[in-house]
Amino acid sequence: MKAEIKRNPVTLFLLALTSLIFILMQLMYLGQAASVQAVLTFGGLYGEIIKAYPDQIWRLLTPIFVHIGWEHFIFNALSLYFIGRIAEQIWGSVRFLLLYILAGIAGNIFVFFFEPAVVEAGASTSLFGLFAAVAVIGYFGGSPFLRQLGRSYVMLIVFNLIFNLITPGISLSGHLGGLVGGALSAVFLPTLYEKNTFSKFQRLSAFLVYLLLMTLMLFSAFSVF
């Protein structure tokens, strides 16, 4: 266990934090932890609230750690454990944390922009970002293992997007935003072992595109009433 903590501290921290928040939701809202009130109290995203109260912009981050129901939590927790350990080994702990957060925020900004009247929560925005990031590194990098892993994740992404289209109640915009945020972050956040996969110009360009896209979407979301 000590070796696991030393090797993947951020993955385990994110998993512990997500689990703690979910348990607290169950304890504070016995039998009602999946209610809108519970989700919003613990930091879920509802765009109309942010429009009315811009000081609650933090809701673009906190939904990453909030889940609606046991099935939602267990599926995302397992996904975080397996993909998180891989991504943390590729990018290192600090850059992996940045990747996870930036992808999640991008997904939540997409929800805020496209579905402001929808209550949304869950780590899937960040998880889709991790899948996209590994796929990008696998495609452009030189590692045969990551190339094969990236192809598998592309198939997984396609399957999940199709599932999103035919299943009600799943935020397609959040998942698409996570994919975009993760893919761009993979370009400007260098990996531990292939730091020259992208040029400085490509890294700077991807970073500026991320900032510009997120800024424009936020500005537009606040401007539309």
169 pLDDT above the threshold of 70: no
How does strand 45-46 pair with strand 119-120?
A: antiparallel
Which domain covers residue 212, as residue numbers? Answer: 2-223
Q: Is residue 172 very low, low, confident or very high in pLDDT (cuts 50, 70, 90)? A: confident
pLDDT of residue 84: 96
Mean pLDDT over residues 71-89, rounded? 95
Render pLDDT for 15-67 as a digit per residue (tens, 0 to 9): 999 999 999 999 999 989 999 999 999 999 999 999 999 999 999 999 999 99
CATH number of the domain within which 170 lies? 1.20.1540.10
Please state the length of the chain: 225
Percent composition of the chain: helix, strand, coil (DSSP 3-state, to 5): 75, 0, 20
Angle ∠(140,145,150) on CA atoms, nearest 5: 55
168 pLDDT above the threshold of 80: no
Render pLDDT for 130-166 as a digit per residue (tens, 0 to 9): 999 999 999 998 888 888 988 898 988 988 888 877 7
List 67, 72, 79, 124, catalytic entry: 124
Sign of the dihedral defined by the CA atoms of residues 12, 14, 19, 21, in that order: positive
Per-residue tokens: 112: 């805020």
Cβ atoms 92, 192 nearer than 8 A: yes
**Cβ-proximal residues to 225 (8 Å cutoff; 6+ apart), any chain:** 51
**Cβ-proximal residues to 122 (8 Å cutoff; 6+ apart), any chain:** 63, 64, 66, 67, 68, 72, 76, 171, 174
pLDDT of residue 139: 92
Give buried/exposed letters for 6-18 (b at 16+ CB in 10 A, else e). eebebbbebbeeb
Q: What are phi and psi of 199, to 5 degrees?
A: -75, 165
List 72, 171, 173, 175, catalytic entry: 175
| CA separation for the pair 159, 163 (Å, rounded) | 6
Mean pLDDT over residues 96-116, rounded? 97
Least confident of 91-105, 144-158, 182-196: 144-158
Alpha carbon separation from 206 to 89, 192, 199 (Å, rounded): 22, 18, 11
Q: Average pLDDT over the chain, rounded to whole?
A: 93
Total domains present in the chain: 1
CA dihedral 55, 48, 168, 69 (to 10 degrees): 40
Residue 124 known to be catalytic: yes
Alpha carbon separation from 213 to 135, 199, 217 (Å, rounded): 21, 21, 6
